[in-house]
Amino acid sequence: MLSIKKAEEEIGLEILNSNRNSKPIQNPRHRVIYCGREKFNHSTNHDNKELISLIFHGGGGYVEDVSRSCWESFELLKILDLEDFGVKAMSESIGTLIELRYLGLRNNYLTRIPRSLGDLEKLEVLDIAQNFMVEVPDIIGEMGSLRNLHMSDVIFPHPLKIDTLENLETLTNISIYDWAEVSSLETWNHITKLGIEDVDENLDVGKLFASLAKLKILQHLTLRGFRFRSMPCLDKIGVVRELWKLRVDGRLDRLPRASNFPLRIRDLVLVNTCLEEDPMPVLEKLSSLQRLRLSNAFTGREMVIQYEGFPELVSLSINELWNLRNIQVGKDAMWCLCQLEIMNCPHLETLPEGIRYMGFLEQFKMITIKHVATKIRSSGLTSQAFENDIDP
């Protein structure tokens, strides 16, 4: 409440809520609107002329069309966020918001992106991700100021031309087939975060990694598989030398050897990899690894962490390992661990004795079934953690 009050006084923040009394202010510069989608009827009053940012939150039905008149009076608007607002269509008049820097359309029901977005010459962030199978006209290459482009499951009627986006820093997620058409990687001197989807076992990922190696400061990479197909082995990923964060989302038959991972890898996320072999003998040898998250990543019953494994690990999250029954932790393994999270592993009824000797453990969280929660509490193995959350 104090933060809101200070924002109202110092930067002209206005919060409007259709479900209770709102407090309009004179000449607001930043506006947040809470309303049910079915009640959406944003005015075009004169006070819109001073607005710099406009953010919507809501729920309920769909917004069939954000009409043409909606955007006519926003002359200075730089930030527009309609994330998760149920929008099904956008008027071409959105192209009149020529001062716009940020446009958030994530997680809506859009089937087509207006061509007029190509007129937004100052736009730096465009987020159209999670609009399933949305059609994007041939405009992306015209947005020379773009720094961050977020998309997923998009349809391009024409070949995607993004070679001209020399200021790009973040690109997620581009289909590997569209990535293959990018020819001028040497001009992308700023890109640090990249997501590639539709990676399946029939593709030559060695060629992919060779192209990524040309991105000299690429630090964060996401690879997503294609539906239920397995991804090819990632043995050659080590050529992407500056990579320190890697997320793999999709089935894998096996992990690369530890020596084939980038040397600087510090943050690793494995989601839906469904590995049949225990990943820990490989991962524990990644000497720089600090954060590890496994979600539906392993289908086996036992994980074993050897003597002095994970020497730098500070955070471990294990989630949705439905068959997991036992974790063994060797002496002096994970001795730096500060945060441990175990969720939705219903057959894991005991914790390794080694947890008792992790002197840096500050936070322990576990979500499981009732009788397992009772058993874990009574064991006292995590009593030294400053925050101890076992649910139920």
Is residue 64 scored above 70 in pLDDT?
Answer: no
Domain boundaries, the chain: 1-134, 299-392
pLDDT value, residue 59: 65
Give residue 40's pLDDT: 59
Residue pointed to by tokens 């008792």: 356
DSSP 49: G
Give the mean pLDDT of 201-227: 93
Position 261 pLDDT exceeds 60: yes
Q: Are 254 and 234 within 8 A, CB to CB?
A: no
The per-residue pLDDT for range 82-119, each reduced to its tens digit, is: 998 888 888 899 999 999 999 999 999 999 999 999 99
| Tokens read off for 62 | 């769909």
Q: Quickly state the pLDDT bin for 41 (edges 50, 70, 90).
A: low
297 contacts: CB under 8 Å, gap ≥ 6: 270, 271, 272, 273, 274, 275, 279, 321
In angstroms, the CA 366 to CA 284 distance is: 22
Phi, psi of 248 (to 5 degrees): -120, 120
Range in 33-42, 115-124, 143-152, 291-300 with the lowest mean pLDDT: 33-42
> CA quadruple 369, 374, 375, 380: dihedral positive or negative?
positive
**CA dihedral (262, 267, 272, 274) positive or negative:** positive
pLDDT at position 60: 56
The pLDDT > 70 percentage for the chain reads 92
What is the dotted CATH code of the domain comprising 1-134?
Answer: 3.80.10.10
In DSSP terms, which residues pair with 252 in a beta bridge? 231
Q: List Cβ<8 Å contacts ≥24 apart for 138-143.
A: 139/113, 139/115, 140/165, 141/165, 142/118, 143/117, 143/118
pLDDT band at 44 (very low <50, low <70, confident <90, very high): very low
- Nearest Cα to Cα of residue 176 among 253, 138, 229, 242: 229
Closest CA to 138 of 121, 119, 153, 159: 159
Least confident of 21-25, 124-128, 228-232: 21-25
- Tell me the pLDDT of the chain averaged across its residues: 91
For 132-175, write each residue's pLDDT tens digit.
899 999 999 999 999 999 999 899 998 888 888 999 999 999 99
